[in-house]
């Protein structure tokens, strides 16, 4: 029996080496996913992928949202809404930091917000707010509509995970 189990494990070992990142399909694209990003069953139909992340400095979550071609609002509308959910250290509305880029020939707008965060679906803070939180969003303008790739959680965790998020977006490729 032990020999059978050992043989079975050896057969499957090449399929998922520990050092290789997994990949998830999001619409027509494959996204590489780091080993410490644990896939979750998406909690809504608008989430194409969802992850929990355990990191030094706290916890984080990530999700890729898709609302359909022409839906989900513009980059500007969403940035304004996300900013309305944050307060800076002085208790004033936070100012988002924006950066333009590209991935796979598609425009990407990066949005960064830090401070006291009350995550919500609509405008303005909803529910209990938490201090020292961060939100990073990549709005990827695909030919099928915008993908909203969000990473949120404790500031220290986001500081460590944001470079990985940038790598994921930078390495996304059209799937087979």
pLDDT of residue 70: 87
pTM for this predicted structure: 0.84
**Cross-strand bridge partners of residue 142:** 145
Rounded CA-CA distance 170/37 in Å is 17
Q: Residue 24: in which H helix or E strand, if any?
A: strand 22-26
Reading the block at residue 108, the tokens are 């990407």
The pLDDT value recorded for residue 35 is 92
pLDDT of residue 119: 80
**pLDDT computed for residue 126 by the predictor:** 60
Which domains, ranges and CATH numbers included, belong to the chain? 21-174 (3.40.1000.10)
Q: What is the pLDDT of residue 21?
A: 62
- Identify whether the C-beta of residue 149 lies closer than 8 Å to the C-beta of residue 108: no
| Per-residue CA distances from 96 to 23, 85, 110 (Å) | 30, 11, 10
How confident is the model over 97-135, as pLDDT tens digits?
999 999 989 999 999 999 999 886 655 556 688 999 999
C-beta separation of 108 from 136 below 8 A: no
Burial label, 145 (beta-carbon count in 10 A; 0-12, 13-18, 19+): middle
């Amino acid at each position: 029996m032990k020999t059978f189990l050992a043989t079975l494990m050896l057969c499957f070992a090449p399929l998922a080496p520990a050092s290789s990142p997994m990949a998830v399909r999001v619409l027509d694209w494959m996204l590489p996913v780091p080993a410490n990003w644990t896939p979750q069953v998406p909690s809504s139909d608008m989430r194409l992928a969802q992850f929990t992340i355990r990191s030094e400095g706290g916890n984080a979550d990530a999700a890729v949202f898709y609302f359909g071609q022409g839906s989900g609002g513009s980059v500007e509308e969403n940035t304004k809404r996300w900013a309305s959910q944050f307060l800076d250290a002085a208790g004033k509305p936070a100012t988002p930091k924006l950066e333009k880029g590209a991935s796979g020939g598609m425009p990407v707008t990066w949005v960064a917000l830090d401070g006291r965060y009350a995550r919500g679906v609509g405008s303005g803070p909803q529910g209990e707010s938490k201090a020292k939180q961060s939100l990073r969003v990549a709005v990827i303008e695909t030919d099928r509509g915008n993908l909203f790739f969000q990473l949120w959680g404790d500031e220290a965790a986001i500081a460590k995970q944001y470079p990985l998020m940038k790598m994921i977006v930078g390495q996304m490729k059209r799937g087979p």
